[in-house]
Amino acid sequence: MHRPAGTSCSATVGLLADAQAGNVRALARILTLVENRDPLGLTVLDRLYPLSGRAHRIGITGPPGAGKSSLLHRLAGSFLSTGRKVAVVAVDPSSRSSGGATLGDRIRLTEHHADPNLFVRSMASRGQRGGLGAATVDVVHVLDAVGYDSIFIETMGVGQDEIDVHRVVDTTILVQVPGLGDAVQTLKAGIMEIGDVIAVNKCDLAGTATLVRDLRAMLAVGTSSADEWENIVVPVSAGTGEGITELAKSIANHATYLRQGDRLIVRRRDAALAEVEMLVRADLERRASQSRDPNVTALLDEIVHRRQTPRAAAELLRIQAEPLASGQ
């Protein structure tokens, strides 16, 4: 939708001022605009971006049924008790047929709903691979810029290729539970290496001690130097609260570790690369999925009739998308 320049500028200034003053409705409005890729929302995002980079960004991931949301509920309470402003971005899977999502993670945080220092945002993945929606990181930038100290990103249940959250946060919590297979299978799945802190949830279940021991043994073998962060395994119970204080302390210790030397800069540089890749990928996928676009349809027909290779078609779409990516 086209907006008169003056109206857009006025609306941008108003939304910015209200959100930075703590107006939750204005913040929610900005996030909706950003998530929908609305030009006004993207203008606000560009203006806020220089103010971001101060928050500690924490990813929570793990297999379905590991209790990530319940654990996040406990962690949010622990962080709020120290006076920090906490934001939660919960990514829910979208239906491949309808595009809808349950967006139900607010329900699990109702105990803290009256706390003015907590903001919860549920987002649909909108079919994006990697466990994150394309706009998730943009939402985090906005929350960072308006003053939230700790920002949690909770992903969908992950598989081997759904670990993008590790690439865009400062600290990753990998949640594991007894009974989902042995630790060796977890290592084979390619997931172990993403966890800076590994929380073994439901620690009252049988098999917890064995899982914790095996995880610690494997992580000890993988540590290559004294200067390298030693991934921590923490037994916890989201149900009883056992181990939550130790888990929160481990997260804080990792934040301290990153602030030494140029470690945080290196991590943020990797995150910037991941974000650029995600945006380019999203643009290309959006372009490629426009089956009603006559140019795309014609290109697909060329592939079907073997007059064009998929690789050459992909390159052509990339070239066509470059002006869009550069803002031309």
Question: What 8-state DSSP symbol labels residue 193?
Answer: G
Structure confidence at residue 48 as a pLDDT band (50, 70, 90): very high
Q: Where are the domains of the chain?
A: 1-51, 52-258, 271-325
Could you report the per-residue pLDDT of 302-325, keeping only the tens digit for each? Answer: 889 888 888 888 788 777 665 544
Degrees to nearest 5, angle at CA 268 with 266 and 269: 65
Q: Which of the 8 DSSP states describes residue 157?
A: P
Between 191 and 200, the higher pLDDT residue? 200
Q: In which band, very low, low, confident or very high, does the pLDDT at 95 lie, cut at 50, 70 and 90?
A: very low
**Spatial separation of the C-alpha atoms in residues 205 and 228, rounded to whole Å:** 32
What is the reported pTM?
Answer: 0.83
pLDDT at 61 over 60: yes
161-63-197 Cα angle (round to 5): 90
Residue 32, amino acid? T
- Residue 22, Ramachandran bin (φ over 0: left; ψ between -120 and 50: alpha; else beta): left
> Number of C-alpha atoms within 13 angstroms, CB side, residue 314?
6
H/E stretch holding 89: strand 86-92
For the segment(s) 52-258, the CATH number from 3.30.70.360, 3.80.10.10, 3.40.50.300, 3.30.43.10 is: 3.40.50.300
Flag whether pLDDT at 301 surpasses 50: yes
Q: What percent of the chain has pLDDT over 90?
A: 41
Residue 110 clears pLDDT 80, i.e. is over it:
no
